[in-house]
Amino acid sequence: MEFVKKVLCIGAGYVGGPTMAVIASKCPEVKVVVADINAKRIADWQTDNLPIYEPGLDEVVKSAIGRNLFFTTDVASAIAEADIIFVSVNTPTKTFGIGAGKASDLQYWEKTARQIRECSHSDKIVVEKSTLPVRTAEAMERILNANAEHVHFDVLSNPEFLAEGTAIKDLLNPDRVLIGGPETERGRAAVEEVVSLYAHWVPRERILTTNVWSSELSKLTANAFLAQRISSINSIAALCEETGANVEEVAHAIGMDKRIGPKFLHASIGFGGSCFQKDILNLVYLCEHFGLPEVAAYWEQVVSMNAHQRTRFVSNMISKMFNTIVGKRIALFGFAFKADTGDTRETPALYVTRELIEERAHVVVTDPKALDNARRDLADLPQDLITYEPDPYKAAEGAHAVAIMTEWELYKELDYRRIYASMEKPAFLFDGRNILDVDALYDIGFSVYPIGRPGKSRL
């Protein structure tokens, strides 16, 4: 079949894979290629066992693979034939040199830009999909157009707002699609090309076009605001625990104010995931770079509060369990950073496990989708203090405490009588996600401690 347009995505990760699968399924006349240097990932995308778990992803991939959706490790050839190139390589927080711990590590991104330049023999539209510091598009444009005599590159920003666990739903029915481009005739034409892809299924009024810098900054700002709501409600949760107020009631009461709204007000053990912390630190670094230390400090506090929430949770566990957990078996229910994903990047459970091991507890980790990632993330810790157990009932056997780390539906439906019967007594339950019924568990015999709500202690 002759394709009318050829789209390439470099980077077959959590963003690139699902986004391209949806574009391919909605635009059958467009050839969509996803390229990655990681051969295993590319191979896995072409099996029934996809490299990431995402509800609904299998069906979308199946609908288009081999028809107009292709996966390859041959990045160079894929670049040569593409009209539009989305760049979705990883941009983690820098761990070395200037800006270590805050700034984005742009090495993969820059390598990609240079490779695009080397392999291109015709004009291309290059679209930033990865979240990047403001004004990165400008640098990309300079790298791409340096030495390019017969080829021209237009660089656009099209940040992805999907959340993991609901990626397919978010892609099929986005609140908005944002496309930033240069305010020139060429720039506007390039933006229109990308708009026309999304217009296959997204109503026009939900496709926003802005200048490039606004688009880049909107992505960082959206994540900063969302994370700020979580840190704000978690800070109030701490106060609730001291005063006898109930954070769920407070969240409900304030959320009914239309100006505040009810979403993203769930007190928890803290936010995780690959985006929130990384993007806020990136924003903080940018503010410092542009001489705005007060603005930087304001946003950095959102990350500090998140770390405090995790530490507070562990301190509370230790103090409730008679100030020592040495040798005690503690079952962590969930390791993923949220439900419906196997992703464990920046998961609060990782920090909790480390703190518990530091206190010389024996940690049993259970999770329906994230055990392989947990094994990898915890590989540097003493393995004689960690057990990985897919079955939550077995994980809880002989444990002094169960702590809920992830809000998986399955943990709401377990037989807690059976769990209680198999545990050491007194049996403790720490609910880091506020998903369980405190009274019902107390009646079974547990001492129960949720977040920001009165607990019930049997002692």
Active site residues: 275
Asked if residue 13 binds ligand ADP (CB under 6 A), the reply is yes
Site for ligand UDX in 327-366 (CB under 6 A): 337-338
Among 93, 104, 130, 406, binds ligand ADP (CB under 6 A): 130
Count of beta carbons in the 10 Å neighbourhood of residue 173:
12
Please check whether residue 405 is in contact with residue 352, taking contact to mean a CB–CB distance below 8 angstroms: yes
- Shortest distance, position 204 Cβ to ligand UDX, whole Å: 22
Measured between alpha carbons, how far is 233 from 235 in angstroms, rounded to an integer? 5
Asked if residue 272 binds ligand UDX (CB under 6 A), the reply is yes
| Helix (H), strand (E) at residue 394 | helix 392-396
Burial of 158 (0-12, 13-18, 19+ CB in 10 A): buried
Measured between alpha carbons, how far is 297 from 284 in angstroms, rounded to an integer? 7
Residue (22 or 143) nearer to ligand UDX, CB: 22
Phi/psi of residue 47, each to 5°? -115, 180
Please check whether residue 34 is in contact with residue 16, taking contact to mean a CB–CB distance below 8 angstroms: yes
- Shortest distance, position 436 Cβ to ligand ADP, whole Å: 31
Residue (41 or 310) nearer to ligand UDX, CB: 310
- Shortest distance, position 174 Cβ to ligand UDX, whole Å: 10
449 binds, among ligand ADP, ligand UDX, none (CB under 5 to 8 A by kind): none
Asked if residue 168 binds ligand ADP (CB under 6 A), the reply is no
Please check whether residue 304 is in contact with residue 234, taking contact to mean a CB–CB distance below 8 angstroms: no
Please check whether residue 24 is in contact with residue 12, taking contact to mean a CB–CB distance below 8 angstroms: no
88 binds, among ligand UDX, ligand ADP, none (CB under 5 to 8 A by kind): ligand ADP
- Shortest distance, position 34 Cβ to ligand ADP, whole Å: 10
Residue (14 or 335) nearer to ligand ADP, CB: 14
Buried b (16+ CB within 10 A) or exposed e, 226-261: bbbbbbbbbbbbbebbeeebbbbebbeebeeeeeee
- Shortest distance, position 173 Cβ to ligand UDX, whole Å: 14
Which part of the chain contacts ligand ADP (CB under 6 A), choosing from 35-43, 347-355, 370-378, 428-436? 35-43
Residue 269 has which token pair?
């053990």
Asked if residue 12 binds ligand ADP (CB under 6 A), the reply is yes
Residue (83 or 110) nearer to ligand ADP, CB: 110
Measured between alpha carbons, how far is 273 from 271 in angstroms, rounded to an integer? 7
Site for ligand ADP in 236-275 (CB under 6 A): 274
Among 9, 10, 156, 371, binds ligand ADP (CB under 6 A): 10
Asked if residue 111 binds ligand ADP (CB under 6 A), the reply is yes
Kindly give, in sequence order, each residue whose CB lies less than 8 Å from that of residue 155, ignoring residues fewer than 6 positions away: 126, 127, 128, 137, 138, 140, 141, 144, 182, 212
What is the DSSP secondary-structure string of 385-419? GEEE-S-HHHHHTT-SEEEE-S--HHHHSS-HHHH
Phi/psi of residue 283, each to 5°? -65, -40
- Shortest distance, position 323 Cβ to ligand UDX, whole Å: 28
Which part of the chain contacts ligand ADP (CB under 6 A), choosing from 10-18, 174-182, 251-259, 365-373? 10-18
Residue 310 has which token pair?
């995790």
Residue (111 or 360) nearer to ligand ADP, CB: 111
Which DSSP category does 11 fall into?
-
Asked if residue 75 binds ligand ADP (CB under 6 A), the reply is yes
Coil vs helix vs strand at 448: strand
Among 195, 275, 365, 370, binds ligand UDX (CB under 6 A): 275
**Order of strands, edge to edge, in the sheet holding 153-157?**
69-72, 30-35, 5-10, 84-87, 124-128, 153-157, 177-180, 207-210
Measured between alpha carbons, how far is 220 from 113 in angstroms, rounded to an integer? 22
Among 217, 230, 325, 350, binds ligand UDX (CB under 6 A): 230
11 binds, among ligand ADP, ligand UDX, none (CB under 5 to 8 A by kind): ligand ADP
- Shortest distance, position 177 Cβ to ligand UDX, whole Å: 12
Among 104, 158, 209, 223, binds ligand UDX (CB under 6 A): 223
Measured between alpha carbons, how far is 239 from 358 in angstroms, rounded to an integer? 27
Q: How far apart are the first and last CA of the chain?
A: 72
Please check whether residue 202 is in contact with residue 174, taking contact to mean a CB–CB distance below 8 angstroms: yes
Among 88, 93, 209, 218, binds ligand ADP (CB under 6 A): 88
Asked if residue 16 binds ligand ADP (CB under 6 A), the reply is yes
Among 3, 108, 161, 201, binds ligand UDX (CB under 6 A): 161
Residues 379-418 as x/- pattern, contact with ligand UDX by CB under 6 A = ----------------------------------------
Among 268, 282, 353, 447, binds ligand UDX (CB under 6 A): 268
Number of residues in the chain: 459
Residue numbers of the site for ligand UDX (CB under 6 A)? 160-164, 223, 226, 230, 264-266, 268, 271-273, 275-276, 337-338
Residue numbers of the site for ligand ADP (CB under 6 A)? 10-16, 35-38, 41, 75, 88-90, 108, 111-112, 130, 274
